Amino acid sequence: MKFGIQVNEGPYQHQAADSAYNFAKAAIDAGHEIFRIFFYHDGVNNGTRLTTPPQDDRNIVKRWSELAADHNVDLVICVAAAQRRGICDADESKRNGKDADNLAEGFRISGLGQLIEAGIESDRLLVFGD
């Protein structure tokens, strides 16, 4: 089965990011495909490379980056939600006159069309978080 996943909550204020990651990992391990994971609303905070959790805590951003690298999972951050929350890649930073970028490895920024495509191309689109 091919899954699309939407994550609407940030990495440390809600369990949605952990649940989405655990589902994606379990689905891949069971032989299913993850078409795309789309981060929306506060979920875009899963994609900032500046997150630095304590050493004895889970590093959710790093786990997402590793999932993308190990299994070729498309991690997409909503551009509008990212801009509202100060998350940008090098291109968005330059375009908006910012002096830095903070998008984590394995993530990319795009629009809601990527979420729509995930819903069309996947057998199921699962939403984690409000």
**Catalytic positions:** 78
- Do residues 73 and 107 lie in contact, with contact meaning Cβ atoms separated by under 8 Å? no
63 C-beta neighbours (distance < 10 Å), count: 18
User: Roughly how many angstroms between the first and final C-alpha of the chain, as a whole number?
Assistant: 24
Give dist(CA 1, CA 14) in Å, integer. Answer: 27
User: What does 7-65 look like in DSSP terms, one character per residue?
Assistant: E-S-SSSSTHHHHHHHHHHHHHHTT-EEEEEEE-GGGGGGGBTT----TTS--HHHHHH
Smallest CA-to-CA distance from 39 within 117, 129, 105 is with 129
